[in-house]
Amino acid sequence: MISLKSIRNRFSPLLLGACLSCAGPHVAPTTAQEAKPLVGTSKVNQFTFPNGLKLLVVEDHSSPTFAYQTWFRVGSRDEILGKTGLAHLFEHMMFKATTQHPEGEFDRLLEAAGAEGENAFTSRDYTAYVQELPKDKLELIASLEADRMVHLALTETAFKTELEVVQNERRYRTENNPDGTMYQDLFGLAFKTHPYHWPVIGYQEDLNKMALGDAISFYRTYYSPNHATVVVVGDVSPTHVRDVISKFYGQLVATNTPSHAIPAEAAQTAARGEKTKLNIQIDKLLMGYHVPPISSSDMPAIDVFEEILSGGKSSRLYRALVDKGIASGVDTDDIDDKDPTLFIINANLQKGKHAALAQAVIANEIQKLKKELVGDEELQRAKNKITFDFYESLSNNSAKAHFLGKYESLTGDFENGVLEQQHVQSVNAAEVMAVAKKYFPTENRTVVSASPKGRKHK
């Protein structure tokens, strides 16, 4: 077994940032806004540092631990065709060697310190690095995260090995996964120009061509304090966190944000669809409608619309599909994108039933919502469920940090997430009907259906 240190020496890693110590002198933050309410007695303390780094802190002393998350405002929407999958691949590379720490040491130091849930994830719009730690480990994680934000040192060998891992992840999530294949097809059909066209994990042919230089360029462009928000929730003091963050991140230099024009998607003018055959035993259906981004003022009404359609076993789609013996399950995906995206309905059919039938039933239920106002009881039922889900989404330190990081990254202000929940309570039946008419015409729809190989389509 080759030691990590010898790997580092043998392959002379490229140094991607200045070899500055992270533990520089204290730099006072430029702004510290008044704490804002989140839920219950929880309040969010906000700080912005001179180098552009944002910090959100929530105190919760119910256990001697804290969640620490770093959210970068970069995802697959920032890629270009031919380099798809780069944001996600780079997420993997962030666990490699830095100028301060050889490969593997980041994980070893955190694991030895008792870290929990150390992980990372990439979406279309953001990339996040998450972990929980015992309360006395704040300086450790801040020093490590600040270090890898700018001091990553990549080798050709590490890059190639991790590329192979990512290709295996792609086999797992897409190639050998019917749902993954269908989602790739759905977004590929629904978006023609916008980067949501391609999957977050990228196309295989692009991954095959990816080079170390691509990763280095991506890192230099997007990994800097002015592209990030650090979120800390747990047994901490906001001023202490501010000082620790300042100590370790204060010396990092902001980089220019590239003038990267994201092409807008033209309005869809005709229904689109694809029928495919997969190694499955029952039919599957995905329907997507173009809807506005998460920051839209229509989002509260769309939330209620979604809940009426698919929230619980009294929802309209469950009744019309599962109770009627057509599908074994039906659901909708939460809208979680910065740019105009898709409202997605997915259904697994029952044995012997065809996707076309489910598609017709779903279209009919949507049609009803365009023509008939929702009753008060049904409206209140939807709001109650949304309220329940909101509270549940804030039920522990990690969940709170995720909520804050997501809304901060997608909308620029976590408060938009809280306001969206508040606005849901005032949505009326006419507004639900209005969003049904506005966003759910047939021509705005894209459908991907799959049936078992060896059976003719119907």
- When the beta carbons of 376 and 443 are compared against another protein, the nearer one is 376
Helices (H) and strands (E) in the chain, counts: 16, 14
Closest distance to another protein from the beta carbon of 113 (Å): 6
Q: Of 37 and 325, which CB lies nearer to another protein in the complex structure?
A: 325
Which of 114, 213, 273, 375: binder of another protein (CB under 8 A)?
Answer: 114
Long-range contact pairs involving 108-115 (C-beta distance under 8 Å, separation at least 24) = 109/140, 109/144, 110/140, 110/141, 110/144, 113/137, 113/140, 115/141
Q: Which of 37, 273, 325, 375 binds another protein (CB under 8 A)?
A: 325
**223 dihedral zone (left: phi>0; alpha: psi -120 to 50; beta):** beta
Site for another protein in 414-453 (CB under 8 A): none
Stretch 156-185 residues interacting with another protein (CB under 8 A): 160-169, 171-172, 175-179
Residue 394 interacting with another protein (CB under 8 A): yes
If DSSP codes are grouped into helix, strand and coil, which group holds residue 63? coil
Among 385, 419, 434, 441, binds another protein (CB under 8 A): 385
Strand bridging mode 14-15 / 153-154: antiparallel
348 binds another protein (CB under 8 A): yes
Spatial separation of the C-alpha atoms in residues 306 and 308, rounded to whole Å: 5
139/164 with CB nearer another protein: 164
Q: By the 8 A CB rule, do 457 and 275 touch? A: yes
Least Å from the CB of residue 79 to another protein:
18
Rule CB under 8 A: which of 281-310 touch another protein?
Answer: 281-282, 284
How far apart are CB 452 and another protein at their closest, in Å? 9
* Cβ nearer to another protein, comparing 11 with 121: 121
Q: How far is the CB of 351 from another protein (least distance, A)?
A: 5
The yes or no reply on residue 115 touching another protein (CB under 8 A) is: yes
The binder of another protein chosen from 387, 422, 425, 442 (CB under 8 A): 387
Determine the Cα–Cα distance for residues 304 and 309; give it in Å rounded to an integer. 9
Is 65 or 409 the residue whose CB approaches another protein more closely? 65
CB-based contact 103:93 (threshold 8 Å): no
Q: Is 372 in the site for another protein (CB under 8 A)?
A: no
HSE, CB side, 13 Å, CA atoms: give it for residue 358: 35
The answer for 352, left when phi > 0, alpha when psi is -120 to 50, beta otherwise, is left
Choices 13-21, 68-76, 87-95, 285-293 (CB under 8 A): range interacting with another protein: 87-95
427 is written with which tokens? 């949505």
- Rounded CA-CA distance 168/177 in Å is 12
Q: Nearest distance from residue 163's CB to another protein, in Å?
A: 7
Residues 6+ apart with CB under 8 A from 136: none
How many CB atoms neighbour CB 49 within 10 A? 23
Stretch that binds another protein, among 18-26, 119-127, 247-255, 406-414 (CB under 8 A): 119-127
Is the distance from CB of 232 to CB of 401 less than 8 angstroms? yes
> Does 280 interact with another protein (rule: CB under 8 A)?
yes
What is the chain's length? 458
Residue number, 19 or 165, with CB nearest to another protein: 165
Q: Exactly one of 388, 426, 457, 458 binds another protein (CB under 8 A); which one?
A: 388
Of the candidate residues 50, 107, 272, 441, the single one contacting another protein (CB under 8 A): 107
Residue 63 found at the interface with another protein (CB under 8 A): yes
